[in-house]
Amino acid sequence: MNSRASAPSILFFGLSGVLSALPFRALLDAGRDVRALVLPFTAGLPALPARPAPTATAGISVPRGRPVPLAAPPERNARQLAEERGIPVLRVATLRRPDALAALAAFAPDLICVSCFSLRLPPDVLRLPRLGCVNLHPSPLPDNRGPDPLFWTFQRGDAATGVTIHLMDEGFDTGPILAQERVEVPAGVAEAQLERALATLGGALLTRAVDMLAGGTAHPMPQDESAATYCPLPTTDDYTIHADWPAARAYRFARGIAGRGEPITIAAPGARFRLLAPLGYDETAAQATPWRLDSDGILSLRCAPGIFRARVAPL
């Protein structure tokens, strides 16, 4: 393998969260040649920093799901990591302007890696790197395509999810898969814990995918469109727990999404409540009435099946 193939020049596109920071750090720690970090910027396209960029295999696999670690130490975001390591940070308001494309082309990227970037890559950007553009998506594609897969993982009550690394095309999360692995979603796990687990695993898979593409050993697999699902950004109504859900789904959703700070509503027959704290569930329990509210504000909601219990306030 020649040196160019073994060390492709990379542009990394991301945001400030852990789903960008941990994969970005994984590439840096593995010694990959990341030339610049690209972030969205709403006030236009500023001049590039003057600092120089540093010099610097496996196919699709779907093993049994990995457990989610419960510890979540503080992380430096991608921008902080780039600044610490002397990597230029490019902020773009749009990727469709000629000056934005020229700024990217100036780094002569062989590959663009994307993880949780909020702007759509237009065709000119997709065609820019010789090895293509790859995206890290926190779901087992083609299931759960869309901009907020973690929300829908919890809203659907999924017991497992995954990470997919795929080549990007002009569709939304539709390109051929390079690597994929599943992750368990324990009942009661918080979104931040799951996000960190997916980001950590995704960083390892992304590094492998970079090496496969560089070495010519990648075997992209087209996605099965017959199994595809697409989930949009959630609306206020999507933050509602319904009595016809299984109790386990209600609990997974309430625990998983609580950290977002969005109000969660419980729609019981003939009444609505504001969720204060999920307390637990029993998949086999039953009660005669659709719901029961005790004097301490504890709601017992009859689900299908089971009982979901939560501390609530009337709406």
Cα radius of gyration rounded to whole Å, the chain:
22
236 three-state secondary structure: helix
Correct CATH for 3-227 of 3.40.50.170, 3.40.50.300, 3.60.70.12, 3.40.920.10: 3.40.50.170
Per-residue pLDDT, 76: 85
For residue 163, give the 3-state DSSP assignment. strand
Give the CA distances from residue 170 to residues 194, 259, 287, in Å, rounded to whole numbers and listed in that order.
Answer: 28, 33, 51
Q: Nearest CA to 310 among 282, 287, 270?
A: 282
> How high is the pLDDT of residue 52?
35
pLDDT along the chain (315 residues), means of 10: 65 96 97 96 44 30 46 72 95 92 96 96 97 98 98 98 98 97 96 97 98 97 98 97 98 97 97 98 96 97 98 95
> End-to-end CA distance of the chain, in Å?
65
Residue 7: predicted pLDDT: 85
User: What pTM was computed for the model?
Assistant: 0.88
DSSP string, 29-59: HTT-EEEEEEEE-TT--PPPPSPPPPP----
The confidence score (pLDDT) of residue 42 equals 52
pLDDT for the residue numbered 65: 53
Residue type, 62: V
Q: Where are the domains of the chain?
A: 3-227, 236-314
pLDDT at 67: 58
